[in-house]
Chains A and B, each alone.
Chain A
Amino acid sequence: MSTDERDDPVLEEAIEWMARIQSGAFDSQQQRALELWRGQSPRHAQVFDQLLKGLEAVQASPWRGRTSTPLLRALEQPSSRRRFIGNSLGVLGVALGAGLFGRWLQSGMGLPGEWATGTGERRHWQLDDGSRLELNARSRVLPRFFDQQRALVLRKGTLLLDIVENTVSSFEIATAVGVVHSQAGRLQVGEEGAGIRLLTLQGDVLLRLPNGENVAVPGAHSLLFDAHGVLSQASLQPGEGSWASGWLEVNDKPLSWVAEAFRPYLPGVVMLDDKAAKIRVNGLFPLDDMPISLEMLERSLPVAVSRYSDYWVSIAAISTSLS
């Protein structure tokens, strides 16, 4: 049973209490009165706590403690009234569509000055400082070269970077979940699941996480991290970072990983069932010929690849009991 919130007296009272707490003039007497109110029923406590939890999330914002002028200016931007479409993609996991919804939204429709590649397209750029950037298909970066700063913001996909040594500044590659600093060398930074995969193909780097933690990563390492920390770290395996050659070299990876690597080369949507996602894969696949690569998967693994149209590919495990 649900009641309309405007007619919900408990919620209205909780809001009144919360507004008083935030005033800056809340004394110990009021505090005791609030505790009495909150103790009236489990629902009183629950509504109040939910409100509190919401505010805690707001107060954890990186805007906290900064001047809010830019924030308020941006919020003033007029917009049509709309409701956010619910993010239910999280439960899907196996659908490799346009990506995780939140992430896809982050990269959005691109900003002026952004460098981007389309489906099935790899491109390279010679940067002002002499470094060389290669972007995998369906990737976007925002170059940031001001004064002494040399930086790239990875907004989507995967990049490979050959960094030329520079006495003035290190090179920064910013992602949603951490910043990589390098003096010189060759490295790959790319999305993997909800985290970022960093490969130090040559030279060492310093990884700075949002919580302030610094991680020194030696050369020839492969590291997976998210905003909370390093998820896994190992020495570089043969074939990692091979996409730049146009061939995906796979050594004992789950099919879900392979499908994600194919994904930027296929328009539309790729569906993978749970069982198929876990099958281990070895092989060398031509990224620029997806029909062949999909056929190779079907021939070498217990899976059925169905292409319902050019834009809807479904990969399903074949039940062994039927064979």
Chain B
Amino acid sequence: MHMDSPSSFKNTLIAQLFQQNYGWLCRRLSRHTGCSHSAEDLAAEAFLQVWLLPDPAAIRSPRALLATIAQRLMYETWRRKDLERAYLQVLAEAPDQVHPSPHEQWMLIESLQAIDRLLDGLSGQAKTVFVLSQLEGLTYLQISERVGLSQARIHQLMKEALRCCYRGLAE
């Protein structure tokens, strides 16, 4: 046998992982997703993430790693679906208003997801304050009237939100 290049060694290694674990991961995921196509997509994505690791040869327990990565991916897609559904429901509840076009809706949901991710881990109050300040452009006085908190408290919540944003950006 001739010497393999590092990349073909990596391919062989991952292919082996694939062969041994792809079916297992798909079955495991389709129990959660209830859809074999989604499970296949998730599984393929999880393997790609493993392929991107600097040293896949060092992986001790591939199944645990694959399951962890796939689960994180699944949470992301679930969250996206929850957000999208909640948004569409609000639209449906206000039928008399002019609805955004499908494209606008798409952009709004995309942005909704980005904001959700950015503010992940913050309290509901801090999220509300941040959104009212940054997206509606309200002053702290206006926000305090709207939500019934003191301006000093608004300032404090805003700082929490900014700290969270900075952390999100640094990642």
Interface residues of A (CB under 8 A from B): 5, 11, 15-16, 18-20, 22-25, 50-51, 53-55, 58-59, 61-77, 79-86, 88-89, 92, 95, 97-98, 101, 104-106, 108-111, 116, 118-119, 138, 142, 144, 151, 153, 172, 174-176, 178-179, 208, 210, 267-269, 271, 273, 306, 308-309, 311-312, 314, 316
Once the chains bind, are B44 and A64 in contact (CB under 8 Å)? no
Chain A neighbourhood of B159, CB < 8 A: 15-16, 19
Q: Is A74 within 8 A of B38, CB to CB?
A: no
B38 and A72 within 8 A (CB): no
State how many angstroms separate the Cβ of A313 from the closest Cβ of chain B. Answer: 9
Chain B, residues 4-38, CB within 8 Å of chain A (1/0): the string is 00011001101110110010000000000101111
The majority secondary structure among interface residues of chain B is helix
Closest chain-B Cβ to A261's Cβ sits at a distance in Å of: 17
Contact residue among B106, B114, B158 (Cβ-Cβ distance under 8 Å from A22): B158
Known pairs A50-B166, A63-B112, A79-B79; A179 contacts B22 (CB<8 A): no
Q: Are A98 and B142 in contact (CB under 8 A)?
A: no
Is B41's CB within 8 Å of the partner chain A? yes
Contact A111 B84 (CB under 8 A): yes
Footprint of A on B, CB under 8 Å? Answer: 7-8, 11-12, 14-16, 18-19, 22, 33, 35-38, 40-42, 44-45, 47-49, 51-52, 69, 72-73, 75-87, 90-91, 101-108, 110-112, 114-121, 124, 127-128, 131-142, 151, 155, 158-159, 162-163, 165-171
Q: Given the interface contacts A62-B108, A89-B48, A309-B18, does A108 sit within 8 Å of B118 by beta carbon?
A: no
Once the chains bind, are A175 and B45 in contact (CB under 8 Å)? no
